[in-house]
């Protein structure tokens, strides 16, 4: 199947799209005939998560045979999630919560980052590429650990994760610096997340492919610009829908709204892909925290990144430039790549763009949006716990709050809220929301939260502070390139 850039007619097959991550013109890859592809929810009824994943992923990456994809999906997910369904949907009040945090690192990124290493390894084999793939990742916390968990000990790959020294939570840091594996490197940089991200981008630019190829290495990325990371996220929209039909909560064919806590627009875009493939999706509701650039865009048509960046209690959504929105604009404009390239140029150079009326109208047909500040987030955690006995993390709480406002405006459809992290990944905020004074040590706070709520601590987080620290490197923010070159030569 062909994948085309959002900024030109440049196209490659799906295997190359997975390996390259981003197109050479700076655009993002999309399947050229997304609107002609179809996956019927009725055909997936009664199937397991893995069976659904195999069907959906093969629809998007048809270079793989059914047999190959079935084996790959099993390798990615088999026995790795704490719940048998991988992504269970639970009823909370009159709504439903789709729990995406039951994986090895307790964040929703596990769903995609369990599958990406398998897709990369197999794409590489099919293309006859023999170089080692070195994954470079800058992280503000969740992606780094999920990527390490996905790539550790995967043959023919290596991974280096850079995180801001002092810029991640104690739990997130412990998750990364205790990572085992013969191909993993974790390094702190003296700087913030943007410095880490810029350093990694500059390293990609400075290395080009050629000079590393002689050393038998190819660089690649694990972030959500890669189609290999987006595609596995489509699966849980179908899974949740089929679960609601099976539980008699809806009838097959009924439309369902999905409310998505959003940062880089990857998760919610996967919902749009599901809709394109034929899933009966009502509205996709984009939930933002105080960094409400997407709420403004989806209600006015004007995207303006020139605003104050807020550090919030839902840090994984603290983002002002949502990369995957570019894909949505391309699709909503009917593939007008010249227009999209223009908007992206304006975003880069001026810091804003306004989409034309037709495009805006098309976005509004599919999307609704809302935002929620930090106080409201905490109040929502408390309210959801007190009213329904359901404990949610800060990111999920943003979505729960936005869902309430969305429903108050009126909808006939049932509403599913995507839950993206375990409350134990952000225990200080969650415990404070319940009105208790958190201890200084975050691991002690986890125990306080358990004592208060009896919600079990996920296995991977319990006992993390007893594990040996394996990674202690700290480097200046401008040394990322040198550091990578040294690792590559080692």
Ligand X SMILES: *Cc1c(COP(=O)(O)O)cnc(C)c1O
Q: Which residues are known to be catalytic?
A: 109
Q: Taking CB under 6 A as the rule, does residue 109 contact ligand X?
A: yes
Could you tell me the smallest distance in angstroms from the CB atom of residue 207 to ligand X?
26
Q: Which of residues 400-459 bind ligand X (CB under 6 A)?
A: 420-421
Query: Which 122-151 positions form the footprint of ligand X (CB under 6 A)?
Result: 142
Binding segment toward ligand X, per CB under 6 A, in 73-81, 103-111, 357-365, 457-465: 103-111
Each residue 168-187 as x (binds ligand X by CB under 6 A) or -, in order, gives --------------------
**Shortest spacing between CB 383 and ligand X, in angstroms:** 20
How near is the Cβ of 458 to ligand X at its closest, in Å? 14
Q: Which is nearer to ligand X, 69 or 113 (CB)?
A: 113
**Secondary structure element (H or E) that encloses residue 157, with its range:** strand 157-164
Q: Is 316 in the site for ligand X (CB under 6 A)?
A: yes
- Does 110 engage in binding with ligand X (CB under 6 A)? no
Rounded Cα–Cα distance for residues 434 and 449 (Å): 9
> Could you say which of 154, 284, 317, 446 contacts ligand X (CB under 6 A)?
317
Whole-angstrom distance, CA of residue 246 vs CA of residue 480: 50
- Find tokens 């875009």 and name the residue: 269
Cα 214 to its chain centre, rounded Å, is 33
**DSSP line for 234-296:** HHHHHHHHHHHHHTTSS-TT--EEEEEE-SSSHHHHHHHHHHHHT--EEEEEEEE-S--HHHH
The residue among 70 and 172 lying less far from ligand X, judged by its C-beta, is: 172
Does residue 291 interact with ligand X by CB under 6 A?
no
- Residue from 164, 191, 266, 438 in contact with ligand X (CB under 6 A): 266
Q: What share of the chain is helix, strand, coil (3-state, %, to 5)?
A: 50, 15, 35
Of 110 and 122, nearer to ligand X (C-beta) is 110
Instruction: Tell me, by CB under 6 A, how many residues bind ligand X.
Output: 17
Tell whether the torsion through CA atoms of 478, 313, 262 and 57 is positive or negative.
positive
Report the first-to-last Cα separation within the chain, whole angstroms. 37
Residues 157, 159: Cα–Cα separation, whole Å: 7
- Write the DSSP symbol of residue 426: S
Number of neighbours of residue 37 by Cβ within 10 angstroms: 16
Instruction: Choose which of 31, 104, 261, 282 interacts with ligand X (CB under 6 A).
Output: 261
Q: Does 224 bind ligand X (CB under 6 A)?
A: yes
Residue 70 or 264: which CB sits closer to ligand X? 264
Whose tokens are 């997407």? That residue is: 294
CB of 294 to ligand X, least distance (A): 9
Span from 104-112, 166-174, 208-216, 362-370 in contact with ligand X (CB under 6 A): 104-112
Binding-site member from 262, 289, 312, 422 for ligand X (CB under 6 A): 262
Q: Which residue has the tokens 């089929």?
A: 242
Span interacting with ligand X, options 58-66, 148-156, 166-174, 264-272, rule CB under 6 A: 264-272
DSSP secondary structure letter of residue 183: T
The answer to the question of residue 236 lying near ligand X (CB under 6 A) is no
Q: Copy the structure tokens of residue 52.
A: 């659904």
* Number of continuous H segments (helices) and E segments (strands) in the chain: 20, 16
Q: Is 327 in the site for ligand X (CB under 6 A)?
A: no
Alpha-carbon distance of 438 to 430, in angstroms, equals 9
List interacting residues with ligand X (CB under 6 A): 107-109, 142, 224, 261-267, 316-317, 395, 420-421
């Amino acid at each position: 199947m062909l994948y085309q850039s959002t900024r030109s007619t440049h196209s490659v097959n799906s295997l190359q799209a997975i390996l390259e991550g981003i197109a050479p013109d700076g655009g993002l890859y999309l399947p050229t005939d997304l609107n002609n592809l179809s996956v019927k929810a009725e055909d997936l009824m009664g199937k397991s998560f893995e069976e659904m994943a195999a069907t959906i992923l093969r629809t998007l990456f048809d270079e793989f045979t059914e047999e190959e994809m079935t084996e790959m999906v099993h390798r990615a997910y088999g026995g790795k999630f704490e719940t048998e369904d991988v992504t269970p949907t639970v009823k909370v009040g009159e709504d439903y919560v789709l729990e995406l945090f039951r994986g090895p690192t307790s964040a929703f990124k596990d769903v995609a980052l369990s599958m990406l290493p398998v897709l990369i390894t197999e794409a590489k084999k099919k293309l006859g590429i023999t170089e080692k793939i070195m994954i470079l990742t800058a992280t503000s916390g969740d992606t780094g650990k999920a990527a390490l968990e996905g790539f550790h000990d995967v043959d023919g790959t290596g991974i280096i994760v850079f995180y801001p020294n002092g810029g991640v939570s104690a739990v997130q840091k412990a998750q990364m610096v205790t990572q085992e594996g013969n191909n993993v490197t974790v390094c702190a940089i003296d700087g913030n997340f943007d410095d880490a991200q810029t350093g990694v981008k500059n390293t990609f630019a400075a290395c080009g492919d050629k000079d590393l190829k002689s050393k038998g290495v190819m660089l690649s990325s694990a972030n959500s610009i890669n189609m290999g990371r987006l595609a596995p996220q489509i699966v849980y929209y179908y899974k949740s829908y089929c679960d609601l039909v099976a539980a008699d909560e809806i009838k097959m064919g009924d439309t369902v709204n999905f409310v998505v806590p959003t940062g880089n627009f990857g998760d919610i875009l996967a919902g749009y892909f599901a809709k394109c493939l034929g899933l009966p999706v009502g509205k996709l509701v984009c939930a933002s925290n105080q960094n409400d650039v997407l709420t403004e865009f989806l209600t006015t048509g004007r995207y303006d990144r020139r605003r104050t960046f807020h550090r919030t209690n839902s840090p994984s959504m603290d983002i002002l430039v949502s990369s995957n929105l570019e894909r949505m604009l391309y699709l909503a404009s009917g593939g007008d790549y010249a227009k999209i390239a223009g908007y992206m140029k304006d975003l880069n150079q001026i810091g804003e763009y306004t989409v034309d009326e037709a495009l805006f109208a098309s976005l509004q047909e599919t999307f609704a949006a809302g935002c929620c500040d930090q106080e409201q987030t905490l109040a929502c955690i408390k309210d959801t716990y007190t009213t329904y006995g359901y404990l949610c993390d800060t990111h999920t709480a943003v979505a729960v709050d936005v869902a309430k406002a969305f429903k108050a405006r009126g909808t006939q459809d049932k509403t599913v809220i995507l839950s993206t992290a375990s409350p134990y990944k952000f225990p200080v905020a969650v415990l404070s929301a319940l009105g208790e004074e958190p201890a200084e040590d975050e691991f002690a706070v986890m125990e306080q939260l358990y004592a208060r709520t009896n919600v079990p601590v996920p296995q991977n987080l319990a006992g993390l502070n007893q594990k040996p620290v394996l990674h202690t490197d700290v480097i200046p923010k401008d040394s990322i390139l040198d550091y990578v070159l040294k690792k590559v030569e080692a």
